[in-house]
A and B are shown apart, each in its own frame.
Chain A
Amino acid sequence: MESPQQRPRRTSPTLHLLAIVSILGLALLGYVAVIWSGSLHGYEPSKIVAARDLSFFIVIIGLFFWLIRKQKFRGEMIPLTAAVLLFAVGLIMQFRLFSDPEYGARVERSEFRRAKGQAVRLLNVETGYDDQKKALLFGSPDAVPKNPPALEKLPDREYTVGDILTSVNTYIPLMALLAMAGGFLLFKSDRMLLWLQRHALIIGVATLLPFSIIAFLSESGKFLGQTTPWEGVKIFFLLSFAGLLADTYQHLRRTRWGLPPARYLLPFLLIATMPIVPFFALSDFGQMLVFFGVYFMLYIVAVRKRAQLVYALLIVVALFGVFSAISAAKDGFGIPARVHFRFYQWTNTWEPPAPETWWWNKDYNNYLEAKKLPPPTDPKELDQRNREAWNDKVLQQSQGLFGINEGGALGEGLGLGFPEIVPISDSDFIYAAWSEETGLAGALIVLIALAGLVYAGAAISLAAPDMYTKLLAAGFTAFIGFQAVVNIGGVLRVLPMTGITLPFVSHGGWSLITSFAMLGILLAFSHRNSVTRPVVEKAPEFVPVR
């Protein structure tokens, strides 16, 4: 009975093997470029780190064969290859940034910066000045020092094999790849899926408890140093939400004036909105935006009511209006100043607010304090200081945009730009860093790969035979796609800056692991679509409200 037409046509695994090997070659090219530019910019990128990064691709190729041979993978591999391409882009950019002594150093950054500049000047003198000029500068044409003394005084950052073996940067990508394999193994079994769907409510509540505890223990959005272990809860919440939605969507579809019956809607809303509390405690509004954005997308896809789409848009507009009104008022009614700041920064990046604005005043005073400046009395000086403080505060956004502008269509060349001056450009702002060095063309690699991933992911959802996996596949796809758009949009001022990562590209522990786990689950669904006969769900059992 199983004729070829009845299974999704898929791209050949050979093509994907070829693509992954090409990406390995591509990465090699990128690393050579970065190492070469490093030597021109006064630092030496570590070749051991480069070798470590490239060996990740060996693991990926191993996983590929594991999927094909051991697991007899029958699904579509486009999401995997697209993710590997994004991952390669991220690895190269992170390598370039962390090789830069100025970016990599936690202390004495300005010292490293100056030393770097002097090293370039020395190199320029060595290669560009004639003997007469060299003699005038250094006494004799052969006396040009190799390295500026300032660089030699700074601590040595040479990596050893031991460093590599103990570095988290080695383990996290390996764990992420492992998470992908794990996700695949778990979610390809029907029994597991059935169990998950049955226990959707319990999964939600069980996730919420530890999450809330960690969230309330955390300090300024970080836990145990610099980690964000709650990244993984995204998957569990989504499992719970999709399970509940698959159970009740038929009831929720019965609407009057576009509104579902309250006895179904209210319990559902209660469960769906529970994660708001811990997210609020973390004041992680970027995650919240992505999270509830995806929830809403799934809901509307399942319920299919145009009226509710309109209601939702109206609510967003109304919230926006209320928010603006609050922003103009004396204080924020519980919404942190940072949110107002980010919104203002989004709409007026280049013009500072008045220094006495309630959400800005504290930052302004902090700036004066940090610079040990007395409060200015002269209005002209006040304006000047206010501008300085503002420029200092919006540095990340503005420098990122300058870099993108500077990068132009084809970029400055890998390692030849200055993305190291943008704070956190290895994670939140990696898109800006990448665009500066490879230009709009390089950014297209990221955008096209993302589009391919989203398209293939949605195709998995389309082919899914049952509502639960359909919603899950759409959810994970939307998660990856929407998170990427919110991240890039924040960099490009499409949206307010939110501080979330770019999936597969950004340097990050838990976020990378979570992204790869989602990818593994998507692959499992794709596989499942191809091997199981499409099963039509049982006819709905509900009593019409009429």
Chain B
Amino acid sequence: MLIPYILTLIFVAIGISIALVLAWGAWHHRNPPLPSEAELPKDLKEFGPVATNRWIRGLRIFLALLILVVFGFHFYWVFRAGSSEAFAQAKLRDSRNIRLAESGLKGWVLDRTGELKRALVRYNYDPQSGGINRYYALGEGAIHLTGYSDFVLGAGGLEAAYRKWLTEPASTYNQLASPIPVGQDIQVSVDLELQNEAHNLLKQTGKPGAAIVLLLPNNEVLAMSSTPSFKPEDLRKEENWRRLTEQAEDYKALTFSPLVNRALGTLVTGGAAFYYRPGSTFKTFIAAVAIDTGMVDEIYTCKKGGFSPPGTRRTISDFDNHVHGEIGLLDAFSLSCNQYFAQLGIKLGKEVLADYAKRLQYFIAPQDSIERQNDLWNVVAGNESQFDYIFAPPMPKMKLNQGTTAYDIALQSIGQGFDDMTVMSMALLASAAASSDGALAAPTFETGATRKIIAPFISAESAGRLRQLMKAVVESGTAAAAFSKFGVSAGGKTGTADRPVTFPALDRNGIQLLDLEGKPVYTRQDWVDSWFMGFAPADNPRIAFAVVVENGGTGGEVAAPIAAALIRKAMALGLIQGGNAPVVATPALSQPSANRRR
């Protein structure tokens, strides 16, 4: 690569020198004056060839100017055209990109073990066609994570997020012998088998869903799965690609789009998609604030007919209209009492809640546009803006500003109303609760990265107390039934969230319905999303996670078993043993409530 290039440079230098010598010679060329010019009669001077010479000189200057103009245009296309929007846009279609993609080798994406055999993205050789092709080991099992790379269809996921890293020459690159640099490999924190397990568990539900597993204390992503998914080779069929992108462009149709990475609420190619209501899992936030502000001894009544916040006649009642009676924090949390947390939230007040929400980097005033959390991830290798374009989740939002009513706070305290969250934000909340210092740490895909604290959330002691509450959910609360079958130690919180969804209506044959004007007809449904978030093991947390299954039913029945299965798999893989996370002494929690009713 280097040698022919250097030869070319020498060639150009000598070539210009020769051309300059010739031009110099031509410039200094002088014709002698015609000897008889001075003696010519006037008529001849005007009509003879001598007079023509002035115009021939003009012609010569004209031609030289034309060459100069041509040079100017060449200069423009080389140095200035890039800043023109239309040109830059058109250049994306340059077939040279195809040639580079067809002949260059990018780096491999290895999983956390660093073993070549367990690479998430690598090349394989097809002896039949003799082709060396990009190969996605998990296929649809990790497509939102690995993304794909195609010169026509673009790129997404890790392929796009670490593109700079993957295409930069590796240290083994031999510049003398190779025409195009061989990119360097990257080792990501994902575990191949856990990722596969997460995908299989979600796929078995047959519903849209997502799961994130983080390894403490650095919040390394062990698994990040989203269903529905698609196979990388599916995109090659043009009609598939068109259907997928049309869905992605129609924000109302996003509900079913496989291009959405539900774990982050983004599109696999970059761009924000949608939020979830976190449901009762968000009580973890209220409980955390209550513990950290010392309001652990509050007792409220959970009565028939529900709780009606001041200023409204609307009521907040419990799931299946359960009545818990007089209840304290521990029981209210483990039984997921809506009325308790509605009252607790109002008591805490919007100022206090807003203060803690800001610590978790939430917006506290609703906004129409979806802003993205561009500084969330801990990125060391590669290009940060390239990474954030793909993986930055939408900013979580609440409404705790001036116009917020008591009813708004009550709804948000139970994860409804104005709560706009992502699976990632819930996993990070679980991680803050599970970490020894109770701080919000940045998630990362890199195994070597150090723990990067974004902001302190609650004190270490409060975090310990919060973990006691979450442990109770698994041991005796709403998730006890699910976890008893698995025999794993964990703490967590279930959630069952109501969320209205809009999607294009289909007829009996699965064909999209159109109205008389040819526009798609949409239908609206109320979905009940099933949530579980938490950490494991209960006493010395090593992993934090969040799972959602859309329209799945109650969190304890659908999401919690998936989480439990993931924990079991992580234990089998040896990700939980070792116990490097520092142990924090957990103070015992007082038990003010007497009545426990299921």
Report A's interface with B, CB cutoff 8 A: 5-11, 15, 19, 22-23, 25-26, 29-30, 32-34, 36-37, 40-42, 76, 78, 81-82, 85, 89, 113-114, 116-118, 120-125, 127-130, 132-133, 136-138, 145, 148-151, 250, 253, 297, 300-302, 304, 349-351, 391, 398-399, 401-416, 418, 421, 435, 437-445, 447-456, 458-459, 461-467, 470, 474, 477-478, 481-482, 484-485, 488-489, 492-494, 529, 534, 536-537, 539-540
B233 → A minimal CB distance (Å): 17
Residue pair B25, A421 in contact (C-beta under 8 Å): no
Residue pair A459, B31 in contact (C-beta under 8 Å): yes
Number of A-B contacts (CB under 8 A): 349
- Report A-chain residues with C-beta under 8 Å of the C-beta of B103: 41-42, 116-118, 120-121, 124
Interface 9-mer from B68-76, B346-354, B487-495: B68-76
Q: Is B49 on the interface with A (CB-CB < 8 A)? A: yes
The 3 A-B pairs at the shortest CB distance, nearest first, are namely: A117-B102, A128-B182, A413-B5
CA distance A534 to B32 in the complex (A): 10
Residue pair B70, A29 in contact (C-beta under 8 Å): no
Residue pair B96, A403 in contact (C-beta under 8 Å): yes
- Report B-chain residues with C-beta under 8 Å of the C-beta of A145: 130
CA distance A242 to B174 in the complex (A): 61
Q: Is B116 on the interface with A (CB-CB < 8 A)? A: yes
Interface 9-mer from B39-47, B474-482, B524-532, B563-571: B39-47
B247 → A minimal CB distance (Å): 14
Can you offer 23 A-B residue contacts whose CB atoms are under 8 A?
A: A22-B14, A37-B4, A78-B26, A89-B15, A122-B132, A128-B174, A148-B131, A151-B130, A250-B47, A398-B93, A398-B94, A401-B77, A401-B81, A410-B9, A413-B5, A416-B5, A443-B71, A452-B19, A452-B22, A454-B63, A489-B70, A494-B69, A539-B41
CA distance A438 to B379 in the complex (A): 38
CA distance A5 to B34 in the complex (A): 11
- Report B-chain residues with C-beta under 8 Å of the C-beta of A9: 29-30
- Report B-chain residues with C-beta under 8 Å of the C-beta of A127: 174, 177-178
Q: Which of B37-71 contact A (CB under 8 A)?
A: 40-41, 43-44, 47-49, 51-60, 62-64, 66-67, 69-71
- Report A-chain residues with C-beta under 8 Å of the C-beta of B71: 443-444, 447
Residue on B with the closest CB to A454?
Answer: B63
- Report A-chain residues with C-beta under 8 Å of the C-beta of B116: 132-133, 136
- Report A-chain residues with C-beta under 8 Å of the C-beta of B123: 121, 137
CA distance A420 to B262 in the complex (A): 43
Q: Which of B8-40 contact A (CB under 8 A)?
A: 8-16, 18-23, 25-27, 29-32, 34-36, 40
CA distance A484 to B69 in the complex (A): 13
- Report B-chain residues with C-beta under 8 Å of the C-beta of A76: 29
Q: Is B358 on the interface with A (CB-CB < 8 A)? A: no
A36 → B minimal CB distance (Å): 4
Q: Is B124 on the interface with A (CB-CB < 8 A)? A: yes
CA distance A5 to B30 in the complex (A): 10
Select A8's contact among B18, B29, B74, B79, beta carbons within 8 Å: B29
Q: Is B486 on the interface with A (CB-CB < 8 A)? A: no
CA distance A418 to B95 in the complex (A): 9
Residue pair B11, A33 in contact (C-beta under 8 Å): yes
Select A113's contact among B31, B52, B102, B177, beta carbons within 8 Å: B102
Select A455's contact among B3, B18, B26, B49, beta carbons within 8 Å: B26
Residue pair A448, B16 in contact (C-beta under 8 Å): yes
Residue pair B49, A466 in contact (C-beta under 8 Å): yes
Q: Is B7 on the interface with A (CB-CB < 8 A)? A: yes
A216 → B minimal CB distance (Å): 33
**With contact pairs A26-B14, A36-B7, A445-B16 given, residues A304 and B179 touching in the complex (Cβ less than 8 Å):** no
CA distance A437 to B31 in the complex (A): 39
Residue pair A462, B31 in contact (C-beta under 8 Å): yes
Residue pair B8, A411 in contact (C-beta under 8 Å): yes
Residue on A with the closest CB to B179?
Answer: A40
Residue pair B16, A421 in contact (C-beta under 8 Å): no
Residue pair B12, A32 in contact (C-beta under 8 Å): no
- Report B-chain residues with C-beta under 8 Å of the C-beta of A474: 56, 59
CA distance A294 to B337 in the complex (A): 93
Select A402's contact among B25, B43, B70, B94, beta carbons within 8 Å: B94
- Report A-chain residues with C-beta under 8 Å of the C-beta of B19: 82, 85, 444-445, 448-449, 452
Residue pair B90, A404 in contact (C-beta under 8 Å): no
B126-149 to A contact mask, C-beta < 8 Å, 1/0: 010111100000000000000000
CA distance A17 to B124 in the complex (A): 56
CA distance A149 to B64 in the complex (A): 52
**With contact pairs A416-B4, A478-B63 given, residues A539 and B44 touching in the complex (Cβ less than 8 Å):** yes
- Report A-chain residues with C-beta under 8 Å of the C-beta of B125: 137-138
Residue on A with the closest CB to B22?
Answer: A452
- Report B-chain residues with C-beta under 8 Å of the C-beta of A408: 78
B81 → A minimal CB distance (Å): 6
CA distance A414 to B67 in the complex (A): 24
Q: Is B251 on the interface with A (CB-CB < 8 A)? A: no
CA distance A459 to B28 in the complex (A): 10
CA distance A15 to B48 in the complex (A): 35
Residue pair B59, A458 in contact (C-beta under 8 Å): yes
- Report A-chain residues with C-beta under 8 Å of the C-beta of B21: 15, 19
**With contact pairs A78-B29, A416-B4 given, residues A129 and B182 touching in the complex (Cβ less than 8 Å):** yes
Residue pair B99, A418 in contact (C-beta under 8 Å): yes
- Report B-chain residues with C-beta under 8 Å of the C-beta of A349: 90
B193-232 to A contact mask, C-beta < 8 Å, 1/0: 0000000000000000000000000000000000000000
**With contact pairs A85-B18, A402-B96, A406-B96 given, residues A128 and B77 touching in the complex (Cβ less than 8 Å):** no
Q: Is B369 on the interface with A (CB-CB < 8 A)? A: no
Residue pair A458, B57 in contact (C-beta under 8 Å): yes
Q: Is B319 on the interface with A (CB-CB < 8 A)? A: no
CA distance A106 to B35 in the complex (A): 61
Residue pair A130, B4 in contact (C-beta under 8 Å): no
Residue pair B172, A128 in contact (C-beta under 8 Å): yes
Residue on A with the closest CB to B105?
Answer: A124
**With contact pairs A8-B29, A76-B29, A148-B130 given, residues A402 and B56 touching in the complex (Cβ less than 8 Å):** no
Q: Which of B110-169 contact A (CB under 8 A)?
A: 116-117, 122-125, 127, 129-132
